[in-house]
């Protein structure tokens, strides 16, 4: 059994991680910290975990965390980078669900996140935790930067086309939506039910932190610069992320359906739908799956990719568990095999 710690488990990413670990066959939650809720039983804050998790939140304590084999950071950006060096020094491996280690370019990171990096030397070492792109790197990593939700949905959608050189890369458009859980569990007027419910809007159209992260992945794959327009939208639901990806075909990319099916044939968490289908976010709710559809736009040289994930699972906690499985040589799907609850 792998002994696991969580730093900052009171948000939506945290409770999803708790749910997945509660039933993981080879991991055991040993400690969970929360500065503001130390002493509170986990299942008092999250009654859905009554009978599943019987420990309390504690104050952050390096010794307790360092006694774990792996620590997940489900913390605001800027928190993990202050504690990670000490943990690594004590041979505890880390998966950071925040953004501290996602961007290789430190200046870009500082620009978007508004602070200086506390341990720049570890950024280069960190493995970007998108297994479909970087499985071997993750297996051997001490430190994994778990990707953002939009970068996961968008990256998996364009991966086959970029690898095949099948699309122009100067004017990619990613029009994406997220359920409100992506905005977290903090008390904010903007995510009250009465503000989100029965409405739809874009946000961050002038720049969103996931833009440089998406671009970094795409450029890594295609080996050159990428022009990307990315607009996220807020959809009145709790979970789910949908990326609608638009690009111009380059040359003759052949059978797009086949290209996608072959690329993802061995991927346990990527499901290419039959031609003509439209993926629904509810079919991946609470699962670590990404479901994809690809098609040519009618009467056009455009290719459309539709990609859905659960922003809290494949977009956060599920992918973190997948990364843990890889890092510790477990079955990659361990603890991640429950189908979606539908309807």
**Active-site positions?**
149
Which residues within the stretch 254-293 sit at the binding site for a second copy (CB under 8 A)? 271, 273, 276-286, 291, 293
Query: Cα 46 to chain center, whole Å?
Result: 22
Q: Is 28 in the site for a second copy (CB under 8 A)?
A: no
Which of 38, 55, 62, 205 touches a second copy (CB under 8 A)?
205
Q: Name the residue nearer to a second copy (CB basis): 2 or 176.
A: 176
Residues 329 and 43: their CA atoms lie apart, in Å, by 30
Cβ proximity of 172 and 246 under 8 Å: yes
Q: Is 164 in the site for a second copy (CB under 8 A)?
A: no
Q: Name the residue nearer to a second copy (CB basis): 62 or 202.
A: 202
How many other β-carbons are positioned within 10 Å of the β-carbon of residue 76?
A: 14
The two three-digit tokens of residue 258, written as one number: 């086949």
The two three-digit tokens of residue 126, written as one number: 């960190």
In whole angstroms, the minimum distance from the beta carbon of 296 to a second copy comes to 9
Which of 1, 62, 106, 192 touches a second copy (CB under 8 A)?
192
The count of residues interacting with a second copy (CB under 8 A) is 87
Q: Is 249 in the site for a second copy (CB under 8 A)?
A: no
Which residues within the stretch 51-80 sit at the binding site for a second copy (CB under 8 A)? 51-52
36-47 per-residue burial string, b: 16 or more CB within 10 A, e: under 16: ebeeeebbebbe
Residues 226 and 217: their CA atoms lie apart, in Å, by 10
Q: Is 223 in the site for a second copy (CB under 8 A)?
A: no
Which region, judged by CB under 8 A, interacts with a second copy, from 87-95, 124-132, 142-150, 202-210?
202-210
Q: Name the residue nearer to a second copy (CB basis): 118 or 302.
A: 302
Q: Is 39 in the site for a second copy (CB under 8 A)?
A: no
In whole angstroms, the minimum distance from the beta carbon of 118 to a second copy comes to 27
Residue whose C-alpha is closest to residue 150's, from 198, 217, 79? 217
DSSP lists the bridge partners of residue 127 as: 144
Query: Cα 238 to chain center, whole Å?
Result: 16
Q: Name the residue nearer to a second copy (CB basis): 196 or 259.
A: 196
Q: Is 343 in the site for a second copy (CB under 8 A)?
A: yes
Which of 67, 231, 249, 334 touches a second copy (CB under 8 A)?
231
Strand order in the sheet with 143-145: 57-58, 27-33, 2-7, 70-73, 93-96, 143-145, 127-128
């Amino acid at each position: 059994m792998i002994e696991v710690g969580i730093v900052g488990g009171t948000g939506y990413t945290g409770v999803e991680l708790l749910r997945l670990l509660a039933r993981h066959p080879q991991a055991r939650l040993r400690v969970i910290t929360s500065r503001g809720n130390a002493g509170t039983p986990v299942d008092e804050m999250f009654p859905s975990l009554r009978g599943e998790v019987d420990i309390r939140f504690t104050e952050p304590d390096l010794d307790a965390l360092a006694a774990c084999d792996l620590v997940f950071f489900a913390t605001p950006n800027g928190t993990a980078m202050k504690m990670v060096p000490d943990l690594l020094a004590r041979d505890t491996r880390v998966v950071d669900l925040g953004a501290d280690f996602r961007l290789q370019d430190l200046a870009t990171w500082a620009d978007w996140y508004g602070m200086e990096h506390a341990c720049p030397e570890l950024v280069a070492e960190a493995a970007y935790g998108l297994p479909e792109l970087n499985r071997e790197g993750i297996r051997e990593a001490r430190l994994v930067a778990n990707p953002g939700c939009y970068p996961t949905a968008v990256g998996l959608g364009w991966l086959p086309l970029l690898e095949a050189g099948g699309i122009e890369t100067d004017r990619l458009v990613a029009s994406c939506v997220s359920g409100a859980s992506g905005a977290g569990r903090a008390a904010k007027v903007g995510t009250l039910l009465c503000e989100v419910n029965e409405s739809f809007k874009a946000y961050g159209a002038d720049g969103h932190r996931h833009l440089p992260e998406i671009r970094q992945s795409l450029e890594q794959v295609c080996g050159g610069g990428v022009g990307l327009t990315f607009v996220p939208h807020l959809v009145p639901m709790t979970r789910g992320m949908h990326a609608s990806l638009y690009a111009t075909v380059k040359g003759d990319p052949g059978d797009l359906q086949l290209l996608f099916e072959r690329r993802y044939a061995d991927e346990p968490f990527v499901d290419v739908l039959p031609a003509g289908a439209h993926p629904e976010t509810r079919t991946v709710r609470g699962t670590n799956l990404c479901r994809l559809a690809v098609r040519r736009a009618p009467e056009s040289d455009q290719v459309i990719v539709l990609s859905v994930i659960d922003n809290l699972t494949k977009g956060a906690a599920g992918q973190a568990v997948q990364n843990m499985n890889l890092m510790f040589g477990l079955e990659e799907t361990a603890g991640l095999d429950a189908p979606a609850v539908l309807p």
